Amino acid sequence: MKGKSFEDLHIWQKAKEMVNLIYTFSRKEKFSKDWSLTDQIRRSAISVMSNIAEGFERGSNREFIQFLYIAKGSSGEVRSQGYIAFDQVYITKDELNKLTEMTKQISGMITNFISYLKKSDLKGPKFK
């Protein structure tokens, strides 16, 4: 891990971008009236960003990997919930495509980062 803080991580920055996109979509009039879906998709997106941050702050690669897997799962939740929003005509096809592409990109970035951490000899700052 080259970053000194989770804010330095490109995957966290991309997750933050996704959270902002979800908030933009879910503020739309029809979408915002579906309180349950709005709450769930926001929580799922926030979970991606938060688990990356929490895992980083744990100070061990092993724990970080565990939290990255949780973040990856939450990214899949956001993607799935995006289809619900589209099916309910809360977002357009272009918006769904943008969200789907973003979640797939984040998921791939997380997978690559997990692979990197698993191959690393470093155990994390907790063990210095």
Chain segment 97-107, per-residue pLDDT in tens: 999 999 999 99
pLDDT for the residue 2: 54
φ/ψ of residue 102, rounded to 5:
-65, -45
Within a domain: residue 55?
yes
pLDDT for the residue 1: 44
Within a domain: residue 5?
no
Within a domain: residue 50?
yes
pLDDT for the residue 90: 98
Within a domain: residue 124?
no
Count: domains in the chain: 1
Q: What is the mean pLDDT of the chain?
A: 94
Name the residue with tokens 């990109």. Answer: 105
Angle between helices 93-119 and 10-26 (to 10 degrees): 160
Containing domain of residue 14, as a range?
A: 10-119
Share of the chain above pLDDT 90, in %: 88
Within a domain: residue 63?
yes
Within a domain: residue 68?
yes
Within a domain: residue 62?
yes
Chain segment 51-92, per-residue pLDDT in tens: 999 999 998 999 999 999 999 999 999 999 999 999 999 999
Task: Give the CATH number of the domain where residue 23 resides.
Answer: 1.20.1440.60
